[in-house]
Amino acid sequence: MAKVYNNIILGGGASGLMLAANLDKKKETLIIEHNSKLGAKVLVSGGGRCNYTNRRVNSSNYLAKKDFINSILKSFSNRYIDNYFKRRGLDSVTKNSHELFCKGGSKDLLDILLKETRDTEVKLNCKILSVDKSKDIFFVKTSCGLYRAKNLVVATGGLSFTKLGASDIGYKIAKSFGHTIKTPSAALVGFTLQPSESFFKELSGISLDVVVKVENRELIGSLLFAHRGVTGPVILNSSLYWQKGHLEIDFLPDINIETLLNSGKSISNLLPIPKRATKAFLDKLNLKDKSAKLLTKSDISRLKELKKYKFAPAGTFGYSKAEVTKGGIDVDEIEALTLESKKVKNLYFLGEVLDVTGELGGYNFTFAFASALCCAKELN
Ligand SMILES: Cc1cc2nc3c(=O)[nH]c(=O)nc-3n(C[C@H](O)[C@H](O)[C@H](O)COP(=O)(O)OP(=O)(O)OC[C@H]3O[C@@H](n4cnc5c(N)ncnc54)[C@H](O)[C@@H]3O)c2cc1C
């Protein structure tokens, strides 16, 4: 008779590995992965040092249904995840006061997951094609044959970085079982420019600390002018909330324009940004670089535009540069405590394939790991 696994995990990335690591080893589990190695994204993440969690995590760091994310983070917190890796020998380093990275590189964290899953059967170079269910058994059709399981876990991630293995198979499987997919799009990604901002290109390489207002959120951080548009942490986070239309950027967050006006110094000497940027902004505002004392009312109101600059991106740099995919399987159709589908018994979804997206700072791995741990508790 054909073999029936207890659990088949589709996708050997962050959430699939964390699940396999925490499953009862007496129950037969199979991981199916089409890359030639497990954990490809983990390895390149965080610039090679994997920002695996954050000292401060709450639902406001996510674009997600509050109750759903809160329930998962309550079951398995950032502290639990940090301790999980530390207990297994991971050395961490903290950046920006609360982001936790691997001190020796992402490989250290991946090695822990690989060690914990060494007894789990893995099929590499094996592409998942489709899934059916009949009489309580899931049938997984792949490029290397047909596999059967009692429990099926979809941990195939989002659409970002196809070169690291991303595909739309998770959405296809979910749809085939009647799930709703919230339209996916690239997130944690830079913005491209409309012709009105083509002057930004001249500023390529300059980084400024700014405040961005987007969809009722105020985000603080650095913006980097790039060849194709704008990027940098504050822009990547803005892309999570941006829905078309404009953002408002304060390029001079620490400056009150009124306090500059009595100075005899020129504008370019007063503004605390690189001269190249001041010149480009003044050209855009059609302002001469003159003594602040000589500014007319109209000059002052134009200068103040730099504190609420309306910027409408043309689009984003797309999936090839995006760290994550926002949108995905509607979490109203998923049990938060177990990650089981409310539509199909013994079918589970973890990580980025769900409609939960975190900001920059380790929030996406936190969710991938925490959702996997909730599911492991259910399956054991
Ligand atoms: C460059 C980069 C850097 C990042 N850095 C960070 C960071 O520092 N901190 C952070 O929190 N987040 C980071 N992220 C986001 C983070 O990597 C993801 O959110 C996380 O990996 C999601 O985990 P997952 O298990 O849901 O999906 P993944 O880790 O993407 O795993 C999905 C797996 O499924 C496999 N798969 C897909 N389709 C098929 C198929 N048809 N057949 C077989 N296998 C398939 C894939 O190959 C992959 O191995 C980064 C992302 C990128 C692209």
- 259-282 mean pLDDT: 91
pLDDT > 80? residue 10: yes
Superfamily (CATH H level) for 191-316: Translation factors (2.40.30.10)
- Residue 244's pLDDT band (cuts 50, 70, 90): confident
Q: What's the confidence (pLDDT) of residue 269?
A: 92
Average model confidence (pLDDT) across the chain: 96
Which H/E stretch holds residue 186? strand 181-187
Atom of ligand 1 nearest to the CA of 17: 25
Residue 185 pairs in a beta bridge with 326
Boundaries of every domain in the chain: 4-186+325-379, 191-316
For domain 4-186+325-379, say whether CATH 3.50.50.60 is its number: yes
CA distance 14 to 136: 27
Complete DSSP assignment for 31-96: EE-SSSSS-HHHHHHHHHT-EEEESS--GGGEES-HHHHHHHHHHS-HHHHHHHHHHTT--EEEET
Q: What's the confidence (pLDDT) of residue 260?
A: 87
Name residues contacting ligand 1 (CB within 6 A): 11-16, 32-35, 40-41, 44-46, 50-51, 127-128, 155-157, 160-161, 165, 167, 169, 323-324, 351-353, 362-365, 368
C-alpha 206 to ligand 1 mean position (Å): 30
Q: What's the confidence (pLDDT) of residue 308?
A: 96
- 144-166 mean pLDDT: 97
- Residue 126's pLDDT band (cuts 50, 70, 90): very high
Q: Which residues of 302-317 are buried (b: 16+ CB within 10 A; e: fewer)?
A: bbeebbebebebeebb
Q: What's the confidence (pLDDT) of residue 262?
A: 80
Residue to mutate (ligand 1; options 38, 114, 156; most atoms within 8 A of CB): 156
- 192-211 mean pLDDT: 95
